[in-house]
Amino acid sequence: MKYVNYLTIAFLSILISSCNNNKDKKINDKTVSSFSLQKGDLLFQANVVSEKVKAIQGAGEGYKGLKFSHVGILDINYKDTLVIEATTGGVRCVKLEKFFEDSEYINGKPFVYVGRLKPQYSDIIPYSIERAKEKIGLPYDSVFLPNNNAYYCTELVHDCYLDKENKPIFESKPMSFKDRTDKFYDVWVKFYSKVGIPVPEGVEGTNPNDMSNSKSINIVYSYIK
């Protein structure tokens, strides 16, 4: 069975730090506090459509057919609600308000869905958060290859959320950079030609859409509804 464009969805996280048209959007306190988030929640986000996004629109579907471009890990301390995420600037920690500001908006609301680990995994949350914190400052994995000490958004989640036997609770699958006609998308051909490596067709990887459908979580809230 062919898995189409799993990695290409993850590449959408590149867009997060470069989308400036949402910078002027303000998140009010009601939007941020209207739902009781929990430490370890995963925030699935959609971003503004670009030419690169258009190239992968038909590649895969997330929860209830939605298309996500990014995911972050929620952390809560005594004074702030934070999101640990891997973006083009590397692995970083930002305030929740900043994460919302980087989202696409629908009717004035951020396109963010909340995924929560199922009860059998609740014990691993503190350890998963600590692993993510240890990776803050590491570079972004722009080529989407495993084991290179760099991370794209779902790779960070995959490598940090481990069960009691140190095995990932989120599945990885062979990635594809091809369209429905079995041809490589031009955007990927150009990108990998520029960086000087072959397109990593078939390499194991993850993406926000597939992760939002994982059996390890429940989608418990949407900020656009």
Q: What are phi and psi of 145, to 5 degrees?
A: -115, 145
Show me where the domains of the chain are located: 6-30+37-222
> What predicted TM-score, i.e. pTM, was given to this entire model?
0.83
Measured CA to CA, the distance from residue 32 to residue 43 in angstroms comes to 13
How much is the pLDDT for 86? 96
Among candidate residues 154, 152, 132, the one with its CA nearest the CA of residue 140:
152
How much is the pLDDT for 48? 63
How much is the pLDDT for 177? 82
How much is the pLDDT for 31? 55
How much is the pLDDT for 49? 61
Options 3.90.1720.10, 1.20.140.10, 3.40.50.1000, 3.30.470.20; CATH of 6-30+37-222: 3.90.1720.10
How much is the pLDDT for 182? 87
How much is the pLDDT for 181? 85
pLDDT in tens, the chain (225 residues): 444 444 444 444 443 333 333 434 455 544 555 689 999 999 999 876 655 544 443 447 899 999 888 999 999 998 899 999 999 899 999 999 999 998 889 899 999 999 999 999 999 999 999 999 999 999 999 899 999 999 999 999 999 999 999 999 999 998 888 877 888 888 888 989 999 999 899 999 998 999 999 999 999 999 997
Q: What are phi and psi of 53, to 5 degrees?
A: -65, -40
How much is the pLDDT for 25? 47
**Backbone dihedral region for residue 194 (phi beyond 0: left; psi -120 to 50: alpha; all else: beta):** alpha
Burial 89-125 (b: 16+ CB within 10 A, else e): ebbbbbebbebbbbbbbeeebbbbbbbbbeeebeebb
How much is the pLDDT for 78? 86
